[in-house]
Amino acid sequence: MDILFYLTLTLASIVGLTWSADRLIGVGIQISHRLKTSPMFIGFTVLAFGTSLPEIMVSISGSLQDAGILAVGNAIGSNLANIGLVFAITIIATTAFVVPSVILRRYLPIFLGVTIWGGILLWDLHLTVWDGLLLLAVLPLPLWIFLRDMHLLDTPSTPSSPHNSSRMIYIWFILFLILVNGSSQVLVWGASRLALELNVSDFLIGLSVVAIGTSLPELAVSISGVRSRQYSMVIGNIIGSNIFNLLIVMAIPGLLAPLTLETQIVQRDYIAMAVLSGLFAIILYYRYWRSDGEQVQITRVHGIVLLLLYVIYYGVIFNHVR
């Protein structure tokens, strides 16, 4: 009975977290529209931060509840899900996913550098206050580049709800932010208790259930973006979200509750994330080198490959647990 209760509570909190984050993103987009910024800029900043907000809230909640390891698993698992699940399904769901080549030239190297930097800091199996500070210290660089290029390529799109007053937009933003925070608190508590009932580590729950659950906003945003042909917004959301996951989400446990990691977390799971990130980059750069213009087309085959690798990875993980 306890397992069923905690499982139901965890799934319900994921639904609440996803719904509230989705509404928060919508309001954030309206705010960005009023600032007359480009869809690409929205993807890299408002959407990327907004869709990473569940991970950030879970990381804070987990660290304050002595479940910092769940937050680390959430960060690694969310990056895996963003590439192997969200990006893969998005590509498979569309006939022609087009990426502006400027994203590959400017922003993909930053993501790869951040991934390597995070691995270097975790390699000693300790996530300390200094590690958290060193992760956060890199954050101004991508933010500065995103702000510098805020009007690059894309033109501002039309606000989705032009009749909302500026005051109401900010009020809704605060309300949905509170709801996201509350849902994340319940999610961490329910997932931690579920892990105890199933005799499974907090890290594995964070790596799987929580990571996939908190990646649902990215999936919703990506599918919506593809339908409206905002491809630069979609890829910007995925790359930006992964950067925020590594520099903010993973830094929080180090700052609030420093911990020692198991060897397999770094040498198996983080490396798996880095390999999938590298394959993601190889696919994009390969298509870029074969293209002649400013647009790079990604095919469904690439999405299928990423999805298969993602499924195989989790198959190995859960088979090992058994």
Distances (CA, A) of 93 to 297, 300, 301: 14, 8, 11
Q: Which residues contact 37 (CB under 8 A, 6 or more apart)?
A: 150, 151, 156
3-state secondary structure 110-137: HHHHHHHHHHHHHCCCEECHHHHHHHHH
pLDDT band at 148 (very low <50, low <70, confident <90, very high): confident
Which of 48-52, 236-240, 304-308: highest mean pLDDT?
Answer: 304-308
Q: Give the HSE-up count for residue 4: Cα atoms under 13 Å, Cβ half-sphere.
A: 1
Q: How far apart are CA 96 and CA 300, in angstroms?
A: 8
Its pTM stands at 0.81
Give the pLDDT confidence score for residue 205 in this predicted structure: 78
DSSP secondary structure string for all residues of 174-214 = HHHHHHHHHHHHHHHHHHHHHHHHHT--HHHHIIIIIHHHH
CATH code of the region 2-153+162-321: 1.20.1420.30
Distance, C-alpha 135 to centroid of its chain: 16
pLDDT band at 56 (very low <50, low <70, confident <90, very high): confident
Residue 280 in this model has a pLDDT that exceeds 90: yes
Percent of the chain with pLDDT over 90: 29
Q: Which residues contact 149 (CB under 8 A, 6 or more apart)?
A: 40, 41, 106
Q: Which of 146-155, 166-175, 249-258 has the lowest mean pLDDT?
A: 146-155
* Between 153 and 212, residue with greater pLDDT: 212
The whole-number average pLDDT for the span 252-270 is 92
Give the pLDDT confidence score for residue 156 in this predicted structure: 46
Give the pLDDT confidence score for residue 127 in this predicted structure: 95
Give the pLDDT confidence score for residue 181 in this predicted structure: 67
Q: Which residues contact 42 (CB under 8 A, 6 or more apart)?
A: 29, 32, 233, 236
Please, what is the angle between helix 140-148 and helix 129-138, to 10°? 10
The whole-number average pLDDT for the span 195-215 is 78
Question: Where in the chain are the domains?
Answer: 2-153+162-321
